[in-house]
Structure formats: structure tokens, C-alpha cells
């Protein structure tokens, strides 16, 4: 119990306390350097990222974006060459109208990222929030697992700010300064295709058995999406 409370306190402090700085895009503040943050994208090239289909992803206006439309499966992904376990990931993203994307993390098998990685959903749900049984597919959701507590998505074309925290079995997500996913405990998900509230999910492996270390990736699943200021801190 003490470990869970400590992890919760850390997640709340991190998720609610971070906001985009006023520094130049894709650079680290001195404070961030001192705290152990690292850049995953330099704003100029895709160095450090793996493209399964060269040419699909590119740098545009100091952001990572996908130059193709509606690519499904691994070819619609880009991921880090490195693997990460316990960390805080923060980045900014924006989408075009009606676009669909996602931030993947702890991808265990890059040949099957949608089955072996967790995803924060990115979708144009500002004007039309996803509700009911599909709420786990709304912007800020831990995709197909937990819906965001409230709709914090900004309109298409505006930059959003996401913070994803992974600490052992505990996952949390903050979107635009508000925590929308709080302390999801993967160890409680003991059955395949089953969430702890009784709803079904897409995963053929119980979430408790997911890799606790893996790649970070971005998905393009229709429309266009941009990512910048991608920073990570090991925990």
C-alpha cells in the first residue's frame, strides 16, 4: 500500500505541475537538464527514430509529422530506437480536423505495436467528445482500457500538451494541465481482452503481462498529426 501511495503522490505532482515552457521549441531548459530530462527529438532530423517504411514520416516546421494518409499497422508508426521502462514522457501535439493518432509507449514488439504497446489516444474529439462504450477511444484515453475523466482536448489545429507517467505497474496521463487518467494499475488486469470494469479490450495478452520496458512511438491512422518538444525523464 505504501508503494502505491508513494507512486500516486509522484504521479499527481508530475502530471499536474508540468506545463510547456517559454523556451525555444525542441530544446531543454537548464532546470530540465539539471533534473535529468533528455530530448527525444532535436527539431531538425529523425535521428534516434526508426521508420518501418522510409518516407512516411518527416520533419516539418520543427515537428515530426506523417507525410502519408491513413496508414495502418506497423507502417503507420514511428518509434524510438531506444527502450524505456519507468519514465515521465512529455510532448506537444496537434492534429488536423478529423484526424486519428496516438502516443504509444512500452512497445514490446515493433512488429505488433498495437497488441504489445500501451497507447494514449489522439483524436479530434474537442467538438464531438466520444462517450458511452467508446469513451476509451477519446482524446487522452488509455486506449481501449480507461476513458479520460473529462474532455481536455483542444480544437483541431491547436497544440496540446501531454504528460505520460509510467512507474512499474502504475500508469497516469495528464492532458493540457489536468490529470485525465489516474493511477491505472496494470497488475489488476489479469485476463486477456478484459478490463477490470468488465468491459472488453482488444488485447490478446493480459495487461499484467505486458513488457514493462519498450519503445515509444507515434501512430498515424488517418489525417495529419504533428509532434514537438518530446522530452523524457527516467524514474
Statement: residue 72 has pLDDT above 80: no
pLDDT at position 222 is 82
| Residues 141/148, Cβ–Cβ less than 8 Å | yes
The rounded percent of the chain whose pLDDT value lies above 90 is 75
Residue 111 grid coordinates:
512488429
Looking at residue 223, what is its pLDDT? 85
Burial class (CB within 10 angstroms; exposed 0-12, middle 13-18, buried 19+) of 202 = exposed
Question: What average pLDDT does the structure give for the chain?
Answer: 89
d(C-alpha 165, C-alpha 57), whole Å: 26
Residue 152 has pLDDT above 90, yes or no: yes
DSSP state for residue 208 in the 8-state scheme: G
**pLDDT at position 19 over 80:** no
pTM of this prediction exceeds 0.85: yes
**Average pLDDT over every residue of 118-131:** 85
CA atoms 62, 101, 158, 40: torsion sign: negative
Q: Cell numbers at residue 102, please? A: 496516438
Q: Specify which residues 95 forms β-bridges with.
A: 225
Mean per-residue pLDDT, 30-45: 97
Residue 22: which residues within 8 A CB-CB, separation 6 or more? none
In 3-state terms, what secondary structure has residue 182? strand
Amino acid at each position: 500500500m505504501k508503494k502505491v501511495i508513494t507512486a500516486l503522490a509522484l504521479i499527481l505532482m508530475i502530471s499536474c505541475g508540468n506545463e510547456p515552457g517559454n523556451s525555444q521549441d525542441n530544446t531543454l531548459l537548464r532546470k530540465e537538464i539539471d533534473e535529468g530530462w533528455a530530448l527525444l527529438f532535436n527539431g531538425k532530423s529523425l535521428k534516434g527514430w526508426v521508420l518501418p517504411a522510409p518516407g512516411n514520416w518527416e520533419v516539418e516546421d520543427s515537428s515530426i509529422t506523417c507525410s502519408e494518409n491513413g496508414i495502418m499497422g506497423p507502417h503507420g508508426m514511428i518509434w524510438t530506437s531506444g527502450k524505456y521502462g519507468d519514465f515521465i514522457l512529455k510532448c506537444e501535439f496537434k492534429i488536423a480536423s478529423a484526424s486519428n493518432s496516438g502516443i504509444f509507449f512500452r512497445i514490446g514488439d515493433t512488429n505488433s505495436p498495437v497488441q504489445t504497446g500501451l497507447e494514449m489516444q489522439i483524436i479530434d474529439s474537442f467538438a464531438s467528445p466520444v462517450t458511452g462504450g467508446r469513451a476509451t477511444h477519446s482524446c487522452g484515453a488509455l486506449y481501449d482500457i480507461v476513458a479520460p475523466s473529462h474532455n481536455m482536448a483542444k480544437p483541431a489545429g491547436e497544440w496540446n500538451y501531454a504528460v505520460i507517467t509510467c512507474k512499474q505497474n502504475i500508469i497516469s496521463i495528464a492532458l493540457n494541465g489536468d490529470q485525465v487518467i489516474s493511477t491505472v494499475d496494470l497488475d489488476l488486469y489479469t485476463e486477456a481482452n478484459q478490463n477490470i470494469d468488465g468491459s472488453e479490450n482488444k488485447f490478446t495478452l493480459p495487461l499484467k503481462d505486458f513488457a514493462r520496458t519498450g519503445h515509444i512511438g507515434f501512430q498515424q491512422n488517418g489525417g495529419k498529426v504533428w509532434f514537438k518538444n518530446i522530452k523524457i525523464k527516467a524514474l
